[in-house]
Amino acid sequence: MPFKKITLFVFAMALFCYSHAQNGKIVERKEIKLTGQKDLRSVIYKNENGQQVLKKEYQYLDSVHCEKIMYISDGLRVVGYLLYPQKSGKYPGIVYNRGGNKEFGKITIKKAGAILARVASWGYVVVASQYRGNDGGEGHEEFGGADVDDVLNLIPLLKDNNMVIPDKLGIYGWSRGGMMTYLTLMRTNEFKAACVGGGLSDLYLMMSSRNDNFETVYQEVIPNYETDKKKALDSRSAIKNVDKISKTTPVLMLHGSADWRVVPQMALDMANKFLEYKVPYRLIIFEGGDHGLYEHRKEVDRQVKMWLDRYVKNGEELPELNPHGR
| Cβ–Cβ under 8 Å, residues 168 and 315 | yes
Residue 11 pLDDT = 42
In contact, 304 and 90? CB cutoff 8 Å: no
Q: What was the pLDDT predicted at 10?
A: 46
* Class level of CATH domain 26-313: alpha beta
Cβ neighbours of residue 282 closer than 8 Å, sequence gap 6 or more: 250, 251, 252, 253, 307
* Predicted local confidence at residue 14, as pLDDT: 44
Can you give the residue ranges of every domain in the chain?
26-313
C-alpha closest to that of 167 among 101, 261, 248: 248
Closest by Cα among 126, 121, 251 to 185:
251
- Could you tell me which of 233, 255, 238, 240 has the C-alpha nearest to residue 182? 238
What proportions of the chain, in percent to the nearest 5, are helix, strand and coil?
40, 25, 35
Q: What is the pLDDT of residue 57?
A: 79
- Distance, in Å, from the CA atom of 162 to the CA atom of 159, rounded to the nearest integer, reads 8
**What does the pLDDT profile of the chain (326 residues) look like in tens digits?**
564 555 545 444 444 444 566 999 999 999 998 876 555 556 655 556 555 566 777 889 889 999 999 999 999 999 999 999 999 999 999 999 999 999 999 999 889 999 999 999 999 999 999 999 999 999 999 999 999 999 999 999 999 999 999 999 999 999 999 999 999 999 999 999 999 999 999 999 999 999 899 999 999 999 999 999 999 999 999 999 999 999 999 999 999 999 999 999 999 999 999 999 999 999 999 999 999 999 999 999 999 999 999 999 999 999 999 999 98
What confidence score (pLDDT) does residue 72 get? Answer: 98
Residue 182 confidence (pLDDT) = 98
Instruction: Please report, to the nearest 10 degrees, the dihedral formed by the alpha carbons of residues 250, 92, 127, 99 taken in order.
Output: 20
Burial per residue of 166-185, b for 16 or more beta-carbon CB atoms within 10 angstroms, e otherwise: eebbbbbbbbbbbbbbbbbb
- Backbone CA torsion sign across 62, 108, 210, 196: negative
Q: How far is 172 from 94, CA to CA, in rounded Å?
A: 7
pLDDT at 58: 81
What is this structure's pTM?
0.90
The distance from CA 298 to its chain's CA centroid, rounded to whole angstroms, is 20
H/E run at residue 137: none
Q: Alpha carbon of 243 to those of 135, 166, 228: distances in Å? A: 34, 27, 23
